[in-house]
Structure 1
């Protein structure tokens, strides 16, 4: 694919996606399509010093600042990274929310899934990621951009290897940080525990979601994980 064309497509669609990608807070995955109505200008409310600041995360949108950061990271990568789709793990959101957003940058659709974070990132098992780590044995999630690599069958069943592209996650391959399915990432965990279980730093998704996650990710695409 022509690099200049790909960059223009990313930037064009990134601007469209930034404000309106809807995701659920109580189900495993949903899909949403942009419409002309979502692009209409909206009146800005008058500022009020008595109104509390908006929460860091929302159960209904992929936050624009996170999307901008992910697209900037994608744009900084070389030609070895596909530019048609991207996955964003919003680790500022709790594990009870569908926070693993798989976005089609060409047609403006997204689908979001539950995903676990590492036990070393949430030692008290609060459901919220507290910290990142890139160290072997930390069992923590790492922040930054990942390149999706090949599929294999390992101790977690069908899995996909990831290559860390940043200094904050460049140990992903030797740490065996991968995408795989796990029972503790199933939606039923929310009914019984109010949060997902924890991985050893991997992106663990629900067992019923793995096929679609793999299909949408494919090889050679970017996953961006951050807490902003």
Structure 2
């Protein structure tokens, strides 16, 4: 206790050196700190190059396919409106709003003239084209492209993905050096091909059982 403080006794107080005093006055309560306001949804400015309308479609797909998607904390969105020279695969933490981006190639059947832009989607066998819609990431395996990950199409526009062997894999033609040298990436046979140097990052972030949504805005 501080020196010279009043000591309570039967509702009165006596100072350390003086006579009885009147009833001690209670100290006012300390001010309550005001909590910082937290936005209910991620700020649009933090989305970077991710189209807000495409984000809403992806989140709607997350709800539509909730029975098939076991993990809903993180998603990947591929905006095939953008050219292959842009980092158009977006990784979103649904809770925090944190977002990152990565280069990804499209299928040769979706861009026959190799313009760098996806011209069309297809779910057909032997089309070598990219498909649109909601996918769920599945198991890993080692194939002709090295370590790869199967994905299962959840919509009528991509439900042949497993049988077409449309997967996620690494590729030399999806590295950033290709953009520097040619202004665009190479093309896959319909798979989501990312740079070999980025593949482990993608696998660590997505894992199995998460949504991959691909479309044009």
**TM-score grouping bracket, smaller chain normalisation:** 0.7 to 0.9
Q: In 1, Cα distance between the equivalents of 2:188 and 2:171? A: 9
Q: 65, 72, 75: which one pairs with 1:86?
A: 75
Question: Per-residue deviation at 1:77?
Answer: 1.2
TM superposition outliers: structure 1 runs of 4+ over 4 Å: none
Q: 163, 178, 201: which one pairs with 2:167?
A: 178
Q: How high is the TM-score relative to the length of structure 1? A: 0.76
Q: Decide which structure has the larger Cα Rg and report it.
A: 2
Unmatched 5+ stretches in structure 2:
1-38
Question: Per-residue deviation at 1:133?
Answer: 0.2
Q: 37, 42, 48: which one pairs with 1:16?
A: 42
Q: In 2, Cα distance between the equivalents of 1:148 and 1:92? A: 22
Q: In 2, Cα distance between the equivalents of 1:102 and 1:17? A: 16
Unmatched 5+ stretches in structure 1:
1-11, 23-60
Q: 47, 59, 66: which one pairs with 1:71?
A: 59
Q: 194, 197, 218: which one pairs with 2:186?
A: 197
Q: How high is the TM-score relative to the length of structure 2? A: 0.79
| 1:111 alignment partner, SS class | strand
Question: Per-residue deviation at 1:151?
Answer: 0.3
| 1:16 alignment partner, SS class | coil
Q: In 2, Cα distance between the equivalents of 1:17 and 1:83? A: 20
- 8 Å CA contact retained: 1:95, 1:196: yes
Determine the structure 1 residue equivalent to 2:103: 114
- 8 Å CA contact retained: 1:70, 1:88: yes
Question: Per-residue deviation at 1:119?
Answer: 0.1
| 1:120 alignment partner, SS class | helix
Q: How many residues align?
A: 178
